[in-house]
Chain A
């Protein structure tokens, strides 16, 4: 409703509307209804169904005019509850490559008795929506579906196709239970259906200060790859009454001590370069200087030391490996025959798992200690480019809606489903325009929530952004 108005005015009006919760437009009412239905459809691994949730979204799209051929519901054999949906709004230029909007519809478990409110009833209270998935990731899933419905209803014909993929299994399975990862399944089995120049996904948003003012608008431009390594020592063992100097546990302890003191070298990837350049201005001071310095010279040890006091900056600058599991020995009174630690490594784009393994071997520097990768680890994605075609429209819409708030690309030290798309040639970025305080909104935890105004602003942001992309040449 504010689309044809000037940028600043539009933003001001939008904010006013969201904050007051009055004069609700019909399309917002429709969105709230859709969002409620999605949140209230339980999609946990234990008792929910992604298939049901995506069928409900497909029904809404069909009601809005989407044809059966534009809607592809899929399930994998043997996993009937882990289904998903791919919806396509066709473009008018058959030569223009599509864009892909990815969101997962599964949610982390939530126990009623632990929550203040029923996690599967959408509750609006004090300016927040409460419920499992209100933020992660049913906000974005609902926005994608809603946006396509709005485009279809208004008769919008984009230059390039817009595809929405709603998938299951992003939150992973659990011990003894397997869940289909729908994004991976599509990449492996329906690559043509989701083909796109690039994709948008979860993983980023804006940050509010304590007064609720937007501070920075983040774009996820890179992710680390997660790899496990086993550090293992074996020994002849013996009776514990007769200790000998050569002991599997002590060898492992020494190796872990070396790992704990080892720092992987700083790698300045595109996302980091832009992130630290822009953050330098926002942060200022000594830290700001260090950011500028490390972008100019990634070998700047003093800058690295200063920045790496912050675990978040530390993790963004390099690959990290940390010991997460430990096991050794077979009896209280026997010298250990085997000692093993699991290292959880987060590998920065552009570095291979084998390079990381070699660096660990060098750091441990003990031929009796083996460093191996468990079988079945896939390839690691190359670093993604962050071209102006992708970043430009984000900055444009962001400046319209939140004037003066800087757009800052960053690398997520963790991982989302984006990497699965990037690996098959669809570079996928995290962008939502949903602003949040520093508490993270209880994602994965108790009483997950999202600010109603942030959700509505994010919806508007995506609606505008996707149009810009969709009309690109």
Chain B
């Protein structure tokens, strides 16, 4: 999934500890074997199997001492290859609510002929692990499984239960549209019940020189909602054009959407982001961040910051035309023209409110605006001390001086499904990525070896802190 860390990397330079390689610890070697197995298990929608990968991870948990009743394999009957695993590590206080560790194990398609190396062989080269899923999202999935194994081996008895869900279908390929996270919320809600969940979507960012810029925590996602604009017309023969034309109506509507800006909205998360980034960024942009955090109607600050598309899109709902189709014959006036408008809705805003805005902006009754699917408005999770405190403490311990920056993710992860089901979900990983964001979804996906091991240590420690919280 997309992460928002590029903007952090682009704006600041900070001192950080050098990322020099160190000798591998025995627990890291064990982790590496698990990570390798998971990356090398093909889980693409076309030919892979999440079910197989989930069983391999379950077998490792069982070997470490998990009992069968602590391991729930699930699979929707129509999607035999889209199965997943929920593991429960019991807590000692039955009244304390659990925490949930979520990761998806499916990956984006990868063609051997397009890649430099086999995408389903984990290759370590020049300080990087290469392979499909090496970053998105098998790094975090492996870390969750590995952490549970370590806790079990150590005999750790947490106050609250630790639950882990490995799911399929996050990438939503054409072959595999079964989303495991949503399926769990709809069919196994009790099994995954938790006070809050940790997921992908956050992470640290490195600048071009490999220096740590900030540790981003994703606290909220925009909701993706598409709308269809449609114009119908009696049509006619193209030799006799008339002013009333379905395609021209649609073009006018698109021009209006293009020039419309949704108003700036500031949530707790984006206020935190702007406040912290203003110090890192400094200068004119930094001042604008401070100004906008204080006054969302500051047009000047908005104009300056919104020149950067990665800031523009976290300040507001955005809608953009992504697809067009119209007409039925090259020599006939079009009887129908439609456009798909993909909107990314600010947390808490409803799709119907956005639709109403679009209708108002288009201001043409000939253009209908419909929603092919209705998704509920999903508010962002609250930024509590309970969640943020341990992240800040641990980040300062491991990477002194690196700020923790809460972020709104403009794209979406499975977190939205969990939040909608009442489980506040945060993206946090401690995995520091290069400005190329690990080439997620692209060719030659990779992750820095040191980043992976440090992120593993970070999450192992973080989950322990949460698990012993009162």
Compute how far the CA of A323 lies from the CA of B329 in the bound complex, rounded to whole angstroms: 11
Task: Say whether B360 faces chain A, with CB atoms less than 8 Å apart.
Answer: no
* Cross-chain contact of A242 among B252, B313, B340 (Cβ < 8 A): B313
Which of A15-23, A70-78, A148-156, A332-340 contacts its partner? Answer: A332-340
Task: Say whether A240 faces chain B, with CB atoms less than 8 Å apart.
Answer: yes
Residues of B within 8 A of A339 (CB): 324
Contact A325 B241, CB 8 Å, known A333-B322, A336-B322: no
Most buried by B among A241, A242, A257, A333: A241
Task: Say whether B2 faces chain A, with CB atoms less than 8 Å apart.
Answer: yes
B339 closest partner in A (C-beta): A249
Contact A346 B238, CB 8 Å, known A329-B340, A332-B340: yes
CB A308 to nearest CB in B, in angstroms, measures 10
- Flag B290-332 by CB within 8 Å of A: 1 or 0 each: 0000000000000000000110110000111111111111111
How many A-B pairs have beta carbons closer than 8 Å: the answer is 157
Which of B20-28, B88-96, B242-250, B458-466 contacts its partner? Answer: B242-250
A224 closest partner in B (C-beta): B239
A241 to B411, Cβ gap below 8 A?
yes
Task: Say whether B450 faces chain A, with CB atoms less than 8 Å apart.
Answer: no
Compute how far the CA of A414 lies from the CA of B239 in the bound complex, rounded to whole angstroms: 5
Task: Say whether B255 faces chain A, with CB atoms less than 8 Å apart.
Answer: yes
Compute how far the CA of A240 lies from the CA of B321 in the bound complex, rounded to whole angstroms: 9
CB B235 to nearest CB in A, in angstroms, measures 9
Compute how far the CA of A240 lies from the CA of B226 in the bound complex, rounded to whole angstroms: 11
Contact residues of B: prevailing secondary structure: mixed
A250 to B321, Cβ gap below 8 A?
yes
CB B439 to nearest CB in A, in angstroms, measures 14
Residues of B within 8 A of A250 (CB): 254-255, 258, 321
Contact A242 B248, CB 8 Å, known A250-B254, A322-B238: no
Task: Say whether B237 faces chain A, with CB atoms less than 8 Å apart.
Answer: yes
Within 8 A of A (CB), among B402-416: 410-412
Task: Say whether A243 faces chain B, with CB atoms less than 8 Å apart.
Answer: yes
Compute how far the CA of A188 lies from the CA of B239 in the bound complex, rounded to whole angstroms: 27
CB B399 to nearest CB in A, in angstroms, measures 27
CB A244 to nearest CB in B, in angstroms, measures 5
A315 to B258, Cβ gap below 8 A?
no
- Flag A231-246 by CB within 8 Å of B: 1 or 0 each: 0000000011111100
Task: Say whether A177 faces chain B, with CB atoms less than 8 Å apart.
Answer: no
Task: Say whether A135 faces chain B, with CB atoms less than 8 Å apart.
Answer: no
Task: Say whether A324 faces chain B, with CB atoms less than 8 Å apart.
Answer: yes
Residues of A within 8 A of B323 (CB): 328-332, 336
B241 closest partner in A (C-beta): A322
B310 to A242, Cβ gap below 8 A?
yes
B252 to A257, Cβ gap below 8 A?
yes
Compute how far the CA of A326 lies from the CA of B325 in the bound complex, rounded to whole angstroms: 5
Task: Say whether A286 faces chain B, with CB atoms less than 8 Å apart.
Answer: no
Task: Say whether A341 faces chain B, with CB atoms less than 8 Å apart.
Answer: yes
Task: Say whether B342 faces chain A, with CB atoms less than 8 Å apart.
Answer: yes
Compute how far the CA of A89 lies from the CA of B432 in the bound complex, rounded to whole angstroms: 91
Residues of B within 8 A of A333 (CB): 224, 322, 342
Size of interface on A: residues with Cβ below 8 Å to B: 47
* Cross-chain contact of A241 among B239, B243, B313, B339 (Cβ < 8 A): B313
Most buried by A among B239, B319, B333: B239
Residues of A within 8 A of B410 (CB): 241-242
CB A267 to nearest CB in B, in angstroms, measures 16
Residues of B within 8 A of A342 (CB): 327, 330
* Cross-chain contact of B331 among A241, A260, A314, A324 (Cβ < 8 A): A324
Compute how far the CA of A326 lies from the CA of B327 in the bound complex, rounded to whole angstroms: 6
Residues of B within 8 A of A239 (CB): 2, 411
Residues of B within 8 A of A281 (CB): none
Residues of A within 8 A of B326 (CB): 323, 325-327
CB B262 to nearest CB in A, in angstroms, measures 11
Size of interface on B: residues with Cβ below 8 Å to A: 49
Residues of B within 8 A of A224 (CB): 239
CB A372 to nearest CB in B, in angstroms, measures 14
A253 to B255, Cβ gap below 8 A?
yes
Task: Say whether B132 faces chain A, with CB atoms less than 8 Å apart.
Answer: no
B258 to A253, Cβ gap below 8 A?
yes
Contact A327 B322, CB 8 Å, known A256-B248, A320-B241, A322-B245: no
Residues of A within 8 A of B310 (CB): 242
Residues of A within 8 A of B258 (CB): 247, 250, 253
Contact A243 B248, CB 8 Å, known A311-B242, A346-B239: no
Compute how far the CA of A312 lies from the CA of B242 in the bound complex, rounded to whole angstroms: 9
Residues of B within 8 A of A242 (CB): 2, 309-310, 313, 410-411
Task: Say whether B337 faces chain A, with CB atoms less than 8 Å apart.
Answer: yes
Task: Say whether A60 faces chain B, with CB atoms less than 8 Å apart.
Answer: no
Task: Say whether A254 faces chain B, with CB atoms less than 8 Å apart.
Answer: yes
* Cross-chain contact of A326 among B2, B222, B313, B334 (Cβ < 8 A): B334
A243 closest partner in B (C-beta): B320
Contact A323 B2, CB 8 Å, known A244-B309, A336-B322: no
Task: Say whether A272 faces chain B, with CB atoms less than 8 Å apart.
Answer: no
B409 closest partner in A (C-beta): A241
Residues of A within 8 A of B243 (CB): 260
B241 to A311, Cβ gap below 8 A?
yes
A324 to B334, Cβ gap below 8 A?
yes
B240 to A329, Cβ gap below 8 A?
no
B237 closest partner in A (C-beta): A414
Compute how far the CA of A137 lies from the CA of B126 in the bound complex, rounded to whole angstroms: 77
20 pairs, A vs B, C-beta closer than 8 Å? A226-B239, A253-B250, A257-B251, A311-B241, A312-B240, A320-B241, A321-B241, A323-B251, A324-B329, A325-B329, A325-B334, A326-B247, A326-B327, A328-B325, A333-B322, A334-B322, A336-B321, A339-B324, A342-B330, A344-B332
Given A242-B310, A328-B324, A344-B331, 10 new contacts (CB under 8 A): A240-B320, A250-B258, A253-B258, A254-B251, A323-B326, A324-B330, A336-B324, A342-B330, A413-B239, A414-B237
The interface of chain B, by Cβ under 8 A from chain A, is 2, 222, 224, 226, 237-243, 245, 247-248, 250-252, 254-255, 258, 309-310, 312-313, 318-334, 337, 339-340, 342, 344, 410-412
| 9 A-B pairs with the lowest CB-CB distances in the bound complex, closest first | A326-B326, A329-B323, A325-B327, A328-B324, A344-B238, A322-B241, A243-B320, A253-B254, A413-B239
